[in-house]
Amino acid sequence: MPDTSAEFYRSAIQKSFLIVDKHHKTVPFILNEPQNEILNSLKGRDVILKARQEGISSLILALFAIDFISIENVRCVVISHEQGASQRLFDKVKFYLESLKTTFPGEPPYKLKYNSRSEMVNINNGATFYIGYAGARAFGHGDTINNLHVSELSRWLNQERTMIGLMQAVPRNGRIIVETTANGIGDYFYKLWKKSQSPQSPFRPHFLPWFALKEYQLPIYEGFNPTDEEKEIQEKYKLTNEQLNWRRYKLAELGGNIEAFQEQFPANPTEAFIVSGNPIWSTTLLQWYLRHAKTPAMIGNLTGAYQIFFEENPKGDLKVWKKPDRTHNYVIGADTAEGLEILPDEEREKRADYSVATVMDVNTAEIVAVWHGRLAGDQFGRQLDLLGRWYNEAIIGVERNNQGLVPLVTLRDLNYPRIYYMEKEGLAAIQPTNYLGWRTDRATRPLMIDETGKWLREKKLILYDEETIDEMMSFVRYPDGHGAAASGAFDDRVMALCICIQMAVRNNISSRQNEIEASDNMIGIGIGMDSGDMLDGTVDFSI
């Protein structure tokens, strides 16, 4: 069996191949920092999101070229977004093989039986190397591909249809490497990237920020002083002044267009995906929050009954930045996935929607925990019960739309003491109703979005969760004025956060054991009630 270790390929590439560098000089192919990082972490099904010109295509082509000259009957295929780009990639492969005449003593370890503009066949071992471009040919019917390089997938037309055919042609022991810069939110590549974050995905995600390549730096000039924004970026990513100066230079080339820079040279995956449309909240402001994001202190699940325990598990649903402080007050906003309990088990994993619970420390306005997972409504209600009791019997506001009533009824049946009830505004005061939960509709949705925007602008909110910020970046305003996730994006965490902020705003209104909970009259849980069902014409929520 051939050696396919990272060290074998590194040694073979660096001893065998020459490459043309960015100064148009032919030099030995010595792997740079991003290339070494990727080579060391490839798993066989890989998705690589990268900054421009870090040499990842060159690395993958070199890997396949080594296989072409050393593995019998291997079939290598490289597909790019357009014919010209594909041809340039193939010319690079041919240059590698030609360089063996310089670096390899004696006869080169290959002999071409067939050599055209799109295909080569190695007569020594029966290996084939094919180059193509998206849409030029349908793969998957009778083809077998051992090595598949998908280049710049985000620029392809008909991404999904073409990729389905290609992937069906690759056997389980074959290799698929997708490498691309991003091209907005909502396309097939964006969905593939998001799904690759899941432990259940066959693909492993790899992200390469611009500063992974050490050559992206420029000497600083006399009087160089980082701005406050640059100091934050420098501290977040441990950058040198020389790297900051390179960033300034590139920004100036792009006319100061920060979004164009971030798409081509992202510092994190969120920056790479520029939202098409009209973002609800300032992306510049959200970038500030992103720079202040932190990894969770703990990841795991809550268990127990009379006493609640946190069990650490890297694949758990609950991320915790700060544990409960017994002297603090907490609120929880919850968004329930639609209809999971009525789906068969095999279909649940295919659904994109999740249930989410966001926990805020009202004393500090910090988001201290986020629960994010797939559970049936009653099971989610039990998790909310554990989460709320752990955080000092926090006020829990569950969106009652669609399947939200199921966890609400579960919380009520578990005698959870502080469930949020809808309110109505009367002449004297805001009064709770006997309708469980928070309702999101055309009246309350703008209130939620506006209040969240106010907290963001005033930097009143302390938000550490990068995934929540990611969803907020793709939360856009549609032509009819309503706010929702961009096509292909998600807003489960966004809605849970907005409800959580509403609970904090209403914290002084909601009370432990309000009159409705204290009585046994639970007739009005409001099943089937719409916002128009309030009869007296008054607003049925506090403003």
> For 282-309, how does the pLDDT look when each residue is reduced to its tens digit (9 = 90+)?
888 998 999 899 999 999 999 998 899 9
Q: Considering Cα of 63, then 69, then 73, then 75, what sign does the dihedral take?
A: positive
Mean pLDDT of 497-517: 70
Does 519 score more than 60 pLDDT? Answer: no
SS3 (DSSP) at 319: strand
Type of residue numbered 415: N
> Residue 541: its pLDDT value, please?
29
d(CA 505, CA 374): 28
Q: Tell me whether residue 27 is exposed, middle or buried, using C-beta atoms within 10 angstroms of its C-beta: 0 to 12, 13 to 18, 19 or more.
A: exposed
Does 424 score more than 80 pLDDT? Answer: no
Does 537 score more than 50 pLDDT? Answer: no
pLDDT tens-digit profile of 84-118?
A: 999 999 999 999 999 999 998 888 889 998 788 88
Mean pLDDT of 337-349: 50
Is residue 150 within 8 Å of residue 178, measured between CB atoms?
yes
Does 130 score more than 60 pLDDT? Answer: yes
Q: What separation in angstroms does the CA of 223 have from each of 104, 203, 220, 227, 244? A: 51, 47, 9, 12, 14
Type of residue numbered 457: R
Is residue 526 within 8 Å of residue 412, measured between CB atoms?
no
Is residue 437 within 8 Å of residue 422, measured between CB atoms?
yes
d(CA 173, CA 167): 12
Listed by start position, the domains of the chain span 6-208, 212-274, 298-424+433-512
Q: Kindly indicate the confidence band of residue 161, based on its pLDDT and cuts at 50, 70 and 90.
A: confident
Does 333 score more than 60 pLDDT? Answer: yes
Q: Kindly indicate the confidence band of residue 462, based on its pLDDT and cuts at 50, 70 and 90.
A: very high
Q: If one looks up domain 298-424+433-512 in CATH, what number appears?
A: 3.30.420.240
Average pLDDT, the chain: 86
pLDDT tens-digit profile of 41-83?
A: 999 999 999 999 999 999 999 999 999 999 999 999 999 988 8
> Residue 104: its pLDDT value, please?
86
Tokens 């969760």 map to which residue? 465
> Shortest CA distance to 403 belongs to which of 426, 375, 428?
375
Does 516 score more than 60 pLDDT? Answer: no
Does 496 score more than 50 pLDDT? Answer: yes
d(CA 491, CA 474): 8
Mean pLDDT of 516-523: 40
Does 311 score more than 90 pLDDT? Answer: yes
Scanning 308-376, the segments in alpha helix (DSSP H) are: 345-348
Which helix (DSSP H) or strand (DSSP E) does residue 120 occupy? strand 119-122
302 - beta bridge partners?
A: 310
**CATH fold for domain 6-208:** Rossmann fold (3.40.50)
pLDDT tens-digit profile of 168-222?
A: 899 999 999 999 998 888 788 988 998 898 888 999 999 999 999 999 999 999 9
> Residue 276: its pLDDT value, please?
65
Does 427 score more than 60 pLDDT? Answer: no
pLDDT tens-digit profile of 232-258?
A: 999 999 999 999 999 999 999 999 998
CB atoms near residue 352 (< 10 Å):
13
Does 528 score more than 80 pLDDT? Answer: no
Q: Kindly indicate the confidence band of residue 419, based on its pLDDT and cuts at 50, 70 and 90.
A: very high
The percentage of residues in the chain with a pLDDT greater than 70, rounded to a whole number, is 86
Which helix (DSSP H) or strand (DSSP E) does residue 311 occupy? strand 308-312
Mean pLDDT of 472-487: 86
Q: What is the CA radius of gyration of the chain?
A: 28
> Shortest CA distance to 32 belongs to which of 63, 53, 55?
55
> Residue 263: its pLDDT value, please?
85
Does 429 score more than 60 pLDDT? Answer: no
Q: Tell me whether residue 6 is exposed, middle or buried, using C-beta atoms within 10 angstroms of its C-beta: 0 to 12, 13 to 18, 19 or more.
A: middle
Does 266 score more than 90 pLDDT? Answer: yes
Mean pLDDT of 395-411: 90
Tokens 């994001």 map to which residue? 293
Q: Kindly indicate the confidence band of residue 348, based on its pLDDT and cuts at 50, 70 and 90.
A: very low
CB atoms near residue 464 (< 10 Å):
21
Report the half-sphere exposure of 434 (CA within 13 A, side-chain side): 13
Q: What separation in angstroms does the CA of 538 have from each of 142, 205, 424, 426, 509? A: 67, 51, 7, 7, 18
List the structure tokens of 315.
Answer: 């694949």
